[in-house]
Each structure stands twice: as structure tokens, then as C-alpha cells.
Amino acid sequence: MNTSTADLDIRLPRPDLSSSALAAVTSEIASTAADYDRTGQVPTAGLEVAHRAGLLTATVGARFGGPEVSAIDALRILVALGEGDASVALIAANTLAVHQTQAAAEQGRGWPRDAYRDLLRRSVSCPAPVNTVRAEPELGAPARGGLPATRARRTVSGWILNGHKAYATGGTALAYHAVWAVADEPERADLPPRVGHVIVPADAPGIEWVETWDHLGLRASNTHDVIYTDVAVPTDAFVEIPRGVDGVYRDPAAATRIGGLGHVALYVGVARAARTAFLRYAHERVPIALGRPIATTERIQTVAGEIDAAIAQAETLLYGAVLRAESGDTEHLRQLSLIKVQIARSAVHAVQTVVAALGNPGLTRNQPFERLLRDVLCVRVHPPQEDAALLAAGRQLLDV
């Protein structure tokens, strides 16, 4: 039985989303970010901070006992977490997105009731990250098209899941996996295969992690491969993704919606962190030949203005897109992929401007700038990617 509007007898805290409270979370998470970046371990300290502040469950629906914060507040959370540690923020973004989807799901379309109750109960006492595990080594990112090789075979008692997934952010920190798979149902052999997500508790037998993540940025995100071998789940664990009215299956990750701005939001936080670090460095750096802080020079002041302009553009596009939609004006939603592209470009430009202005200090590991640069460049991998977004927009504009 899927989750319904019935209460799950769980009450989750409403987080303090004041600017001062979020700034405190950012500061505490940032204090361990460099260490986790070096070790590549799951950023447990940062996740614990986010959990303690109630941020990992902020988007849980009110009907499930959650605070169900607004779309704007969800983005503010991810900006704050990204400003502290992009790896923590990415794990949180995936988790908040799952809860947002569950809150908006029609009856019968969401997670199995027992599985979602279990996830929320785990979330009360400790961080309980969850991720929609979709990419595969051969297929790559599903937003480019195609169906997964991962199969869920129908049995008398439920489903047996087998497959190999890539880029499963969160690694062993995950409490649940929502695994994109094709249903193997002999009784429906003459029909198009059903596609959906198999809801799997992370401690189910048959799950093996393969430590493949050795990336330029987001090094603590533990975005490893995971192999599912004869993982048994109940009948209701398969949540179908319906085909369109034309009978064609379309990948939901490629769809453009306001909730999809969450991932780009965390990189606006990375840009903010670079700005803060730049300002601090500019006031502390006093070259002997100059005899005063470099912050007093017109060159550095101009650079600071350029950084601020890029962040202002990113934040205005990010929050403005949501506010415009909430006001009832949805004309811009057809351009949401382009808006994401521009937010990403602005965030990257801000951090690259910092690094270019500082020379060697911007690239040395005893300063945070090179880590922030590595992290912000990862914004380009999230769907829809820039080339796909521009191509789709151009074709729509040209009506070809």
C-alpha cells in the first residue's frame, strides 16, 4: 500500500530558518569541510549538523508530520549548506528532493507507506539521507535518454532487484535507495515494460558498494557505484513512473520544474563561500611593497564588485524564478532550463574570478579557494546539462 494522506504518527521539528540560524549552520559545517575533502570520507559531522538543525527533513509533507517548508526556504537551506560544504549540500539536496516529491505525490503514486514511515522514523533520531539512484556505467546519465539495464523481476512475494548503478551519491550514509529500474513481468510480455523506482532499505542483503569516486570536486559526497544482487523487496516497493498520454516514457530527471532548482542552489552557496574567503584574504593580505591591505586597492575592489555582481545575478535568478511562479506567472517555466544554465554560469564565474585575481594563493591547498573552485565546477554535470538545455531552447524558439 502506498503512502496516503493519512498521518504517519510522526512529528518532525520545524527548523529555524532565520538568517542567523542558517549562518550558524554554515559556519559549523564549514569547519570540517576541508578535512572531509582531503579524506573523501562521508561527511558525517556536517550531516549531523544539518540533521540537528532539522534541515534534512525540512521538505517532508505536512500530512506526514513534517514542516513542508516553502520552495524558497528549501533553496535557502541548500544555499546555506553549500556555503558550508558542497558535499553535505549535495547529499541533502537529494534527500530534500525525495521528500518534496513524496509531499506532492498523488495518492497511490508515492512510496510504500511502511517504507516511508521507516525512513521518517530513522530521520527523527539521526541523519537519514536518501537518494534516487539512476545512472549506470553503460547508460550514463539517464536524462540523455534510454532505459536502465537494472531489472526488477516480479515474484510471488514481491520483486527481486538486480543491476549495477553509478554515481550513487551518499554511499553508505544512505538510509534508503530509490532505484530506477525496468519491471520484468512475464505476464505483461506483450506490453511496453513498466519503468519505475524500487524502494530499497540501505541495509537490505545483496547491496555492494564499489568505491569508484575519485573526482575533482565534491570529494566527500561518496558518489560511488553500487551493485544490487538478488535484492528482495515487497510487492509495493515498485513505484511506477507513468508514461505520457502519447504512450512514451519520459525521464523525470530531464523534466524542468521549480523543485529542480535545488541542485543548482547549493553551488550559489559555494560562490558565496568563495566571496567570504576572498574578502577575508583581501583584508588580511598586506604585501611589504604596498604596506597596506590589498582590499584598499582599486583593482581588488573592482574584483570584489565583479564577484558580487555574479552572485547577485545567480541569487536573483534562483529566487526570482520561484517567486514569479508562486505569484501565478508561469510563462518563464518553459525557460527554466536556461535559467539553471545562467545560475550555474554565474556561480562558476564568481569563483573563477576569485581564483584568477589571487594567483598562486588561489590555487594552493592551504587556502579554501581551490577546493571551492573544484566544487563549483561540478554544477555542470547536473541535468539538464548546458548543451542539452541550449539545444532544446533553440529548437523551441525556432520552432524546428
213-269 per-position pLDDT tens digit: 999 999 999 999 999 999 999 999 999 988 766 666 666 655 567 778 999 999 999
The pLDDT value given to residue 159:
97
Q: What is the mean pLDDT of residues 338-357?
A: 97
pLDDT of 14 higher than 90? yes
Q: Is 248 exposed, middle or buried (0-12, 13-18, 19+ CB in 10 A)?
A: exposed
- 138: confidence class by pLDDT, cuts 50, 70, 90: confident
Q: What is the mean pLDDT of residues 306-326?
A: 97
Q: Show the domains of the chain with their CATH numbers.
A: 19-128 (1.10.540.10), 133-249 (2.40.110.10), 256-398 (1.20.140.10)
Strand pairing class (195-201; 238-240): antiparallel
Q: List, in sequence order, the alpha helices (H) in the chain.
A: 19-39, 44-52, 71-84, 86-104, 113-125, 262-284, 298-326, 336-358, 369-376, 386-398
The pLDDT value given to residue 175:
98
Q: What is the mean pLDDT of residues 331-347?
A: 94
Residue appearing with cell numbers 526556504 = 73
DSSP 107: T
The pLDDT value given to residue 82:
98
The pLDDT value given to residue 141:
65
Q: Alpha-carbon distance 176 to 120, whole Å? A: 11
Length of the chain, in residues: 400
Tell me how far CA of residue 338 lies from CA of 256, 268, 317, 334, 351, in angstroms.
10, 16, 10, 9, 20
The pLDDT value given to residue 274:
98
The pLDDT value given to residue 253:
59
The pLDDT value given to residue 98:
96
pTM, rounded to two decimals = 0.94
The pLDDT value given to residue 257:
72
Q: What is the mean pLDDT of residues 263-276?
A: 98
pLDDT of 145 higher than 80? no
Q: Alpha-carbon distance 248 to 192, whole Å? A: 10
Q: Alpha-carbon distance 295 to 251, whole Å? A: 49
The pLDDT value given to residue 199:
98
Residues in contact with 122: Cβ distance below 8 Å, sequence separation at least 6, in sequence order: 128, 175
Residue 132: which of 104, 167, 89 has the closest Cα? 167
Dig out the grid coordinates for 244 from the structure: 505520457
**% of residues, the chain, pLDDT over 90:** 83
